[in-house]
Structure 1
């Protein structure tokens, strides 16, 4: 939520904004309705949310939007630039190009094509569409991949195949090897590798996937919507995960979502493509548009995007954020990512030491921790813990997992899911862990008493 200090800066900036075009007659919108009552009603209705912006919220992948992004979006939105054509948003088009250039430099890519999207769903769809247009007809994903890939394959009329996952939720390279060997001669695959699954942040073994290319010919698309920025701190990750990130620059296409760990509001994703020639790209994206692209002094990004109208304000917000927090391995932005990872590792260590708590994965790959209470009714205990944590001022999420507990093997059992993606989470890990441990013990004791009573 915008700090009071930055609110004052924003008010001063708004006053400057009024003077942007001094050669034009003064203009302010005039309407016959009063806004105050509606805004008050809006504020009341916004209260019907969880506090996603607050460090006490550690549920879904909902980080806060950093102040500079909020301020920049608000200011740029009033121009309402459209980054489809250079005519429609010159300033924000240049900002978008600078943002993508920075992301490409992070990956050591000297030559690339790319642009912002509305999020991972569209970015992944567009990547698979590009691969289809270049000859691919089969999509291979792990069972832990986001469901958007199956939807995209259906939309694009591509064959869709799934690969089993390992115990930590990452793609099993042995199973992938067997599947590749069994493909039909007419199958032209693109393998989707996830760096940061939605369930628990698992990292597919990208290094092992690339080793299979010596025997099998396929393209590699990396869905790094959640985990892409962790490339900056790959040296601080566990060995197998570091190896996976080391191979990220070798991917043919990559999706990264600034609206996750990039501190942006939802509606800001990014797609980067490598190895697509200018002529091929031109042939894929070619279209007739006699009513736009008239200003040829700059790039019209929309000439090579699946989406047409895209908010220039999103580019402005991301650009301003990256001015303050550049993508540097030793910079403040990387330290934020490291603090999130450290928070998850610490939380896992604290919970692992508790008799009644079971972790789905012992060591978090990124910053997500999933666990359950070992008892006669795990799902009911999860719901009870969820509500009790909420009542005590901590907001978490639930997720359905397949587990092997002391009482048997169960499918789609409800577990608690913590996403520790705010830099402030590290400072509150002990407090949250204490609450979880205390409440979990009480809930487990309650179920033991019920069992003994029988």
Structure 2
């Protein structure tokens, strides 16, 4: 915790305690009081157990999609949790509910839903995608939901939950969808992923949009991981083609707890047409009575949700605007720059080479001192384990089919059905300054 966030946290909790005391004298019940000695013992053990985590905040960690929340974001979350508001109904948290509506309006504008939209925060991207696919099923009953064979597994899983048929579409060598392999008459919704969780691939939204419109198919964008890269859509750091057309999609999912600097769990689902709210219609005889205004529970599949998530995200957006030159833009620029630097370093190395050029901030690479796919896998796993054992770096592993791998790297003997390579996720802006040191540590282990 930095000094500013610590001061903000202490000041916030002190002020809220004074506010609570203003309602009259009261004392906590004796049943809630714990002796100080026992508190110290338990929290000492707690801290020691938490130290068994990997160093997610340090730039030596470039493994999974674990981005530390901004200290001021989790300070805001902690302050709100001292009240513990529930954003299901307005009487569960009027201020936090209003903050949620404000951040949803900000995200809607950010993604290009300027005039009409419907949306809310969720507890995760999984739940956000579940809601989007549920609307897909309700609006196009008896139709299939299609997604690429590199989409997140949650789409297939949620299709099973919703009892709707999911259809995997092959991705061709140039990154486009093999639309000749499907009958558009069978499909009600097409999912397009902007930032796959494997290697951060940006799927061809510009290919899908006109095709879907022609056949009356809804388009859902899963931007759970990549959504905040829209801040760079007009820059030269990424290919902005897909990001510039997001507003043409029918629904969008983004995870603020990934690149949005938020604590877990904070997802978001947005719909372009607010009329989909009719599918949520229900009644709760004891819930929606304090206001005629919209209660967020009226447009959500989830019931109780932490209002603290909305408070933390609202605070973050006040501090970091969704813009290219200030706020989130410079943060995402650093992440993207780190991945490009790693790409250059691996391609100029005699020991490592990249699997392909990264589209966002995730890159795959592998040791070249091998002649077969199984040797690449074995060496990759050895490097992975060595870095963790001596605490010099923390990476992740990624499995690719032999067919896909040899299309890009045909010089290796195929002796296995798939190959395991190294993978780095450069989610922290600090990675931009640390990536050369990180690469040096990895190369020394080869």
Provide the TM-score with structure 2 as the length reference: 0.92
- Indicate the residue corresponding to 2:127 in structure 1: 122
Q: CA deviation at 1:11?
A: 1.9
Deviates more, 1:250-259 or 1:370-379: 370-379
- Indicate the residue corresponding to 1:452 in structure 2: none
Per-residue CA distance 1:289-315 (angstroms, 9 max, x = gap): 101111115431001101111000111
- Indicate the residue corresponding to 2:202 in structure 1: 203
Per-residue CA distance 1:353-372 (angstroms, 9 max, x = gap): 123323221x2110001111
- Pairs within 5 Å for 1:237-252: 241-252=239-250
Q: Which runs of 5+ in 1 are unaligned?
A: 441-454
Q: Specify whether residues 19 and 200 from structure 1 end up closer, same or farther in structure 2 by C-alpha distance, changes over 3 A only.
A: same
Q: CA deviation at 1:20?
A: 1.2
Q: CA deviation at 1:17?
A: 1.9
- Pairs within 5 Å for 1:397-412: 397-402=396-401, 403-404=405-406, 405=409, 406-409=411-414, 410-412=416-418
Contact 2:237 2:333 in 1 (8 A): no
Q: Aligned partners of 1:247 and 1:133: how far apart in 2?
A: 25
Question: Secondary structure at 2:445's aligned position in 1?
Answer: helix
- Indicate the residue corresponding to 2:158 in structure 1: 152
Q: CA deviation at 1:203?
A: 0.3
- Indicate the residue corresponding to 2:139 in structure 1: 134
Contact 1:53 1:65 in 2 (8 A): no
Q: Which runs of 5+ in 2 are unaligned?
A: none
- Indicate the residue corresponding to 2:24 in structure 1: 24
Question: Secondary structure at 2:72's aligned position in 1?
Answer: helix
Q: CA deviation at 1:424?
A: 0.5
Residue in structure 1 matching 2:96, options 92, 104, 110: 92
Q: CA deviation at 1:25?
A: 1.7
Aligned length: 427
- Indicate the residue corresponding to 2:437 in structure 1: 431
Deviates more, 1:81-90 or 1:157-166: 157-166
Deviates more, 1:403-412 or 1:82-91: 403-412
- Indicate the residue corresponding to 2:363 in structure 1: 369
Q: CA deviation at 1:233?
A: 0.4
Question: Secondary structure at 1:288's aligned position in 2?
Answer: coil
Question: Secondary structure at 1:152's aligned position in 2?
Answer: helix
Provide the TM-score with structure 1 as the length reference: 0.90
- Indicate the residue corresponding to 1:69 in structure 2: 73
- Indicate the residue corresponding to 1:231 in structure 2: 230
Q: Aligned partners of 1:234 and 1:75: how far apart in 2?
A: 34
Residue in structure 2 matching 1:329, options 324, 329, 340: 324
Quote the RMSD (CA, aligned, Å): 1.8
Per-residue CA distance 1:73-107 (angstroms, 9 max, x = gap): 11101111100000101010001001111001112
Q: CA deviation at 1:388?
A: 2.4
Q: Aligned partners of 1:439 and 1:57: how far apart in 2?
A: 16
